[in-house]
């Protein structure tokens, strides 16, 4: 639904919306057309047909066959020919060159072209080159450059054919980079491609083999050994590759070797069984010897097609949606993007397997639409704002009138209260809250601070923060602990140990007693004048409490307890 709405909207604005289709020219398979769902790593559409490829000239042998085969695949797979195509081509030329660090990019390109023109392939046709700098080359005075070249007439012919059938060439990839990208995306070389891990990739094809030395995903070195494998007998092929590679691998010392065979002449698994390599060796059959699929496939792909899906086709199918540190540009797209924008230039992006192309005119239309969306609500607001403002002002005036009336009533009540000498509401509320808080803290402190062999016989707290506590204990240490805990809990009350004495009528009675000695104590922050009336009123109650809390009766108890005598003297106003 969203995709249809977007397509309709772009169509109304005049923007181009074309499906992205990926094509691979793969020797040994032919011409492959593929589409991958990168979110679930699944091939959702695939087809292939035979196509002749010239290994000697390293290009498509018959371009008329290429046109016919591509149209047939589009028809079989229900693909609209008016699409954007990214094509993978077999690697024609790949190499490494050391150049001065001060040489600019234009000078690098010219130096690479001079080097490439020494090859027999490019002595008869103009090359198109693309290059990238090795990740570790910036530490020295020279630049290590890896480069690749493709015949310009071949690219021009492919563009022409695609234009004839209504398609657009959006990108050109080479088999080496597509293979590396596919190995990374599929997870086949997950361990080897961890950052900083040195490893070697050997790619065997019908014209020889290539050794790629890598650090994680970055190419560090490259070596190519041409071998006319078709001229050897079956067993001789393995001996020739084994002997030659042993010498080459001595210059690429690593603990990992991954062998990929792209030709039916060589089984990668059989080759590694005959190789003498000290380290871990893995193999992948990218040929008819394959026994497992590279990626999961959707149910609409026929079983006989699954084993034909090549590494190169998977790699090119994710070239626009999955990043890889190595990028080559044979169409000059990077130069176009950085050369400055004009009204006739386009901006393209990918959405849901399609390439959206926006021209300058389309961008202007989008700008007008956005401006209209923003301006129309603003104009409407300007028209309706005075009416809304008038209504809201009336409501505000009514609220202000009510506020003034309430303020007048409050002022009158305040004046009446002041004239009659009655209490101030705010002050009284604050006093009640403060006093209740002090009393609550006092109760909580007693509950937390009473030792096991200590009993409270009297407790009173007043609204002005005054506290008086009386009790008995079996030893002085418990009294001291209780006193210290109370001071810690009630920091600002300035408590003091007012009284501490043995509970006996005389010293002789205390000495002759066989049982435990009881000590009476009083903790308070009251003055002598404040304590005298309180002591007179509560003396009978305290005496009775002392009898009930004698050490003989207390010894029978298991847990600490606080005994409050009735009545507890609290301020009448706080009640």
Q: Do 10 and 80 belong to one domain?
A: yes
Name which of 171, 149, 150 is nearest 159 in CA terms: 171
In a domain, 493, yes or no: yes
Name which of 256, 282, 262, 258 is nearest 204 in CA terms: 262
In a domain, 404, yes or no: no
Q: Environment class of residue 115 by beta-carbon count within 10 Å: exposed (0-12), middle (13-18) or buried (19+)?
A: buried
**If you search the block for the tokens 């490494």, which residue do you land on?**
96
Cα 530 to chain centroid distance, Å, stands at 70
In a domain, 451, yes or no: yes
Q: Which of 293, 310, 325 is the last residue of a domain?
A: 293
Range of the domain at 113: 2-188+295-339
Q: Do 506 and 490 belong to one domain?
A: yes
In a domain, 407, yes or no: no
Residue 307: partners with Cβ closer than 8 Å, 6 or more residues away: 290, 293
In a domain, 413, yes or no: no
Q: How far is CA 289 from CA 51, 261, 267, 307, in A?
A: 20, 9, 6, 9
Q: Do 172 and 210 belong to one domain?
A: no
pTM: 0.59
Radius of gyration of the chain (CA): 47
Q: Do 82 and 120 belong to one domain?
A: yes
**Res 137: pLDDT:** 52
User: CA-to-CA distance for 563 and 553, rounded, in angstroms?
Assistant: 13
Q: 3-state secondary structure string, 46-109? A: EEEECCCEECCCCEECCHHHHHHHHHHHHHHCCCCCCCEEEEEECCCEEEEEEEECCCCHHHHH
Q: Do 299 and 215 belong to one domain?
A: no
The number of folded domains in the chain is: 3
In a domain, 65, yes or no: yes
**Res 248: pLDDT:** 87
Residues of the chain with pLDDT under 70: 1-17, 136-139, 334-365, 368, 417-436, 504-516, 533-575
Q: Do 126 and 244 belong to one domain?
A: no
Cα 367 to chain centroid distance, Å, stands at 33
In a domain, 303, yes or no: yes
In a domain, 130, yes or no: yes
Q: Do 275 and 305 belong to one domain?
A: no
Mean pLDDT, the chain, whole residue set: 81
User: CA-to-CA distance for 360 and 371, rounded, in angstroms?
Assistant: 16
Q: Note the pLDDT tens digit of each residue in 34-93.
A: 999 998 999 999 999 999 999 889 999 999 999 999 999 999 999 999 999 999 999 999
Q: Do 316 and 289 belong to one domain?
A: no
Q: Environment class of residue 471 by beta-carbon count within 10 Å: exposed (0-12), middle (13-18) or buried (19+)?
A: buried
Q: Do 180 and 318 belong to one domain?
A: yes
Q: Do 507 and 439 belong to one domain?
A: yes
- The CATH number linked to 82 is 3.30.420.40
Residue 466: partners with Cβ closer than 8 Å, 6 or more residues away: 524, 525, 526, 530
Q: Do 40 and 122 belong to one domain?
A: yes
Structural contact between residues 174 and 88, judged by C-beta atoms closer than 8 angstroms: yes
**Res 260: pLDDT:** 96
Q: Do 130 and 266 belong to one domain?
A: no
**Res 420: pLDDT:** 55
Structural contact between residues 151 and 59, judged by C-beta atoms closer than 8 angstroms: yes
Q: Note the pLDDT tens digit of each residue in 278-334.
A: 889 999 999 999 988 999 999 989 888 999 999 999 999 999 888 899 999 999 876
């Amino acid at each position: 639904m969203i995709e249809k709405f977007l397509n309709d909207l772009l169509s109304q604005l005049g923007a181009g919306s074309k499906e992205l289709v990926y094509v691979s020219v793969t020797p040994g398979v032919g011409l492959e057309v593929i589409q991958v769902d990168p979110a679930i790593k699944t091939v959702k559409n695939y087809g292939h047909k035979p196509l002749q490829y010239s290994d000697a000239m390293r290009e498509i042998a018959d371009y008329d066959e290429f046109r016919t085969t591509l149209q047939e695949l589009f028809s079989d797979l229900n693909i609209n020919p008016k699409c954007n195509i990214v094509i993978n081509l077999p690697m024609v030329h790949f190499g490494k060159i050391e150049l001065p660090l001060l040489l600019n990019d234009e000078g690098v390109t010219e130096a690479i072209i001079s080097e490439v023109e020494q090859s027999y392939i490019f002595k008869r046709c103009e090359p198109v080159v693309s290059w990238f700098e090795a990740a570790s080359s910036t530490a020295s005075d020279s630049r290590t450059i890896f480069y690749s070249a493709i015949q310009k007439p071949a690219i021009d012919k492919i563009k022409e054919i695609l234009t004839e059938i209504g398609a657009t060439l959006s990108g050109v990839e080479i088999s080496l980079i597509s293979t590396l990208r596919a190995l990374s995306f599929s997870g086949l070389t997950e361990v080897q491609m961890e950052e900083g891990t040195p490893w070697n990739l050997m790619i065997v094809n019908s014209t020889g083999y290539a050794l790629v030395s890598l650090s994680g995903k970055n190419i560090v070195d490259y070596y190519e050994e041409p071998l006319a494998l078709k001229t050897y007998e079956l067993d001789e092929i393995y001996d020739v590759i084994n002997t030659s590679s042993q010498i080459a691998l001595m210059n690429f010392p690593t603990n990992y070797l991954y062998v990929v065979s792209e030709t039916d002449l060589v089984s990668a698994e059989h080759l590694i069984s005959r190789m003498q390599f000290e380290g871990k060796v893995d193999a992948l059959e990218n040929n008819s010897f394959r026994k497992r699929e590279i990626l999961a496939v959707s149910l609409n792909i026929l079983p006989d097609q699954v084993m034909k899906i090549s590494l190169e086709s998977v790699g090119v199918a994710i070239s626009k949606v999955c990043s890889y540190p190595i990028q080559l540009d044979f169409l000059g797209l990077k130069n176009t993007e950085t050369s400055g924008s004009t009204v006739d230039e386009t901006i393209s992006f990918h959405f849901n397997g399609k390439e959206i192309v926006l021209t300058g005119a389309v961008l202007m239309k989008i700008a007008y639409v956005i401006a209209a969306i923003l301006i129309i609500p603003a104009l409407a607001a300007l028209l309706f704002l005075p009416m809304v403002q008038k209504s809201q002002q009336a409501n505000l005036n009514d609220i202000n009138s009510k506020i003034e009336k309430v303020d007048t009533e409050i002022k009158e009540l305040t004046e009446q209260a002041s004239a009659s000498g009655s209490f101030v509401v705010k002050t009284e509320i604050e006093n009640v809250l403060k006093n209740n808080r002090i009393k609550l803290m006092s109760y909580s402190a007693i509950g937390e601070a009473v030792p096991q062999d200590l009993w409270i016989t009297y407790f009173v707290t007043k609204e002005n923060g005054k506290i008086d506590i009386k009790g008995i204990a079996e030893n002085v240490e418990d009294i001291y602990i209780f006193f210290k805990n109370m001071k810690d809990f009630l920091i600002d009350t300035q408590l003091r140990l007012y009284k501490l004495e043995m509970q006996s009528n005389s010293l002789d009675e205390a000495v002759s007693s066989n049982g435990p000695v009881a000590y009476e104590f009083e903790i308070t922050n009251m003055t002598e004048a404040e304590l005298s009336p309180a002591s007179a009123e509560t003396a009978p109650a305290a005496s009775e409490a002392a009898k009930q809390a004698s050490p003989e009766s207390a010894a029978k108890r298991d847990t600490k307890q606080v005994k409050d005598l009735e009545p507890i003297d609290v301020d009448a106003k706080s009640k």
